[in-house]
Structure 1
Amino acid sequence: MDFTDVSLTALRVFRAVAERGTFTAAAESLGYTQSAVSRQIASIERAAGTELLERRREGVRLTPAGRVVLRRATVVLDQIDATARELSGLPAEGGVVRVGWFPSAGGVLLPRALAALRRTDPAVRVVGREGATPELVRALRAGSLDLAVLASVPPFRPPDAESPPLVLRTLTERALCVAVPAADPLARGDFVDVADLRGRRWIAAPPSDEDRLMGVWPGLDERPDIAHTARDWLAKLHLVAAGCGLTTLPASLAGAAPPGVRVLPVRGGPQEQRRLLLARLPHPPAEPVVRVAAALRAAAVEIGAPT
């Protein structure tokens, strides 16, 4: 086992693969070819003298040795990045908190939390990105995020089976609703009967290997008629306003719906609850991370969600 010849490039590639879950996704994020990623992973596994990634049909998973290397690689890369910043005269990143969020959290919860944080803790800078829950969990494990706002559906299992378990706190738990065009007959009442959702056209997110079909009411006893696909929840709502179909929406986002859309609860079937969870690794968080987490919890209280 000899890590003296392992390059920083190989460490960055290894962290990207661990975070993204596939060689292809890591290559796209880094701007490399898949073969270049494969060569870097092969070089670091040769240095380790063992497999660091378990190859599966649906992607890769860290082996126990891989988790050790990832933990050490993250420390090295963070120190190199901090050194580069110091040498270039940029301020230290001690007050930077890296946050990832599930798309629906970006509509109301996150902006409200960040606005409050600018007033109370202007020295804390939040950077991050939107992503699917599995991707955000991998980023937490890879050390690329300090906090992640994740989506959870019944039966509300932990987001992964890795050890040690992530520290989780429920930010919101609200019923899933349906967004309908204001001119649609369904919009005349105060709720939608689940039976009236049969035979409707839907606006859904594109199919994904990691997330269930989003935008279609769960449990429909028919093959859904997908009129349009869009990842952006606001784009889906504007398509609803244009009369192009229906989509689903967490109740916490109802206030962000554009004109021409009514967001209504659904009755007549099992209630579909949705949770947003705040997740972090179990080690003691730095003070800026604590402050950002507190701002997210306070924002959840403001929008009427249980904590």
Structure 2
Amino acid sequence: MDFTDVSLTALRVFRAVAEQGTFTAAAGSLGYTQSAVSRQIAAIERAAGAELLERRRDGVRLTTAGRVVMRRARTVLDEIDAAARELSGLPEQAGTVRLGWVPTAGAVLVPRALVALRQSDPGLRVVGREGGTPTLVRALRAGSIDLALLASAPPFRAPDAESPPLALQTLTERALCLAVPSTHPLARGDFVDVADLRGQRWIAGSSSGEDRLMGVWPGLDERPDIAHTARDWLAKLHLVAAGCGLTTAPAVLASAAPPGVRILPVRGGPQEQRRLLLARLPQSPTEPVTRVAATLRAVALASDAPTAAP
């Protein structure tokens, strides 16, 4: 085992693969070819004398040896980045927190939290990124973000099976709602009966993969009629406003829905609960991370949503 010849490029590629989950996605994020990414990973695995990534049909995940190397790689890359900032005269990032969030959290909670932080901690800088829960979990593990707002649905399992487990706190727990065109017959009341969802047209998630049925009410006893697919929640709601179909929506989106859309609860079946989780790595957080986490909790509590224990 000899790490003396491992390049910074190889470490950055290794972090990108761990974060993105596939060689192809990492190559795209770095602007490299897939073969270049493969060569860098092969080089770092030769230096480690062990397989660092478990290759699976659905992507890659860190092995036990990979987690050890990733922990050290984060430290090295952070120090190199700090040195570059210092040499260029830029301020240190001691007051910077890297936050990731799922799209629905970015619609309401994150903007409100950033406004609150500007008032309470004007010297604290938050840089952010949006992503799906699996992507944000990988980014946490890779050290690319410090905190993440994740979505969770029953049976509320841990967001990954890696060790050690992530530190998780439930910020909100609310029943899933339905977005209905305001001109639709189902929009006349204050709720929708689950029995009336049969035969409706739906606006679902992406056209392939596990999110395809996101946007369709869970547990329908028929094959859903999917009229449109869209990954972006705002696009879904505008399609609803145009009368193109129905879609599921967290209750938090009620205040952000465009004109022509009603966000209504669904009754008559089991409640479909959804949680918003605040996640970080299990080691003790820095003081800026603690302040951002406290503000996110306070804004969530002020949103009139019922809260659950971590």
Please, what TM-score do these two structures have when normalized by structure 2?
0.97
SS in 1 for 2:254: helix
For the Cα contact (< 8 Å) 1:181–1:261, is it kept in 2?
yes
Counterpart position of 1:157 = 157
SS in 2 for 1:158: coil
1:191 offset after TM fit, Å? 0.8
Residues 208, 29 of structure 1: alpha-carbon distance in 2 compared, 3 angstrom cutoff: farther
Counterpart position of 2:239 = 239
Alignment partners' CA distance in 2, 1:171 and 1:147: 13
Alignment partners' CA distance in 2, 1:104 and 1:219: 22
Counterpart position of 1:123 = 123
Counterpart position of 1:196 = 196
Give 5+ residue unaligned stretches, structure 2: none
Identity percentage of aligned residues: 82
For the Cα contact (< 8 Å) 2:205–2:211, is it kept in 1?
no
Counterpart position of 1:252 = 252
Alignment partners' CA distance in 1, 2:207 and 2:296: 29
Q: Across the two proteins, how many residue pairs are aligned to each other?
A: 307
For the Cα contact (< 8 Å) 1:151–1:277, is it kept in 2?
yes
Counterpart position of 1:74 = 74
SS in 2 for 1:265: strand
The amino acid that maps onto 1:296 is: L
For the Cα contact (< 8 Å) 1:177–1:263, is it kept in 2?
yes
Q: How does 1:95-114 map to 2 (within 5 A)?
A: 95-114=95-114
* TM-superposition CA deviations, 1:234-267 (whole Å, max 9, x none): 1111111111111110011111111111111111
The amino acid that maps onto 1:84 is: A
For the Cα contact (< 8 Å) 2:172–2:276, is it kept in 1?
yes
For the Cα contact (< 8 Å) 2:6–2:44, is it kept in 1?
yes
For the Cα contact (< 8 Å) 1:134–1:210, is it kept in 2?
no
Residues 16, 208 of structure 1: alpha-carbon distance in 2 compared, 3 angstrom cutoff: farther
Counterpart position of 1:7 = 7
**Cα RMSD (Å):** 1.1
Structure 1 stretches of at least 4 aligned residues deviating more than 4 Å after TM superposition: none
For the Cα contact (< 8 Å) 1:132–1:210, is it kept in 2?
no
The amino acid that maps onto 2:262 is: R
Alignment partners' CA distance in 2, 1:304 and 1:168: 21
Residues 304, 151 of structure 1: alpha-carbon distance in 2 compared, 3 angstrom cutoff: same
Residues 279, 76 of structure 1: alpha-carbon distance in 2 compared, 3 angstrom cutoff: same
1:25 offset after TM fit, Å? 1.1
Counterpart position of 1:136 = 136
1:161 offset after TM fit, Å? 1.4
Please, what TM-score do these two structures have when normalized by structure 1?
0.97
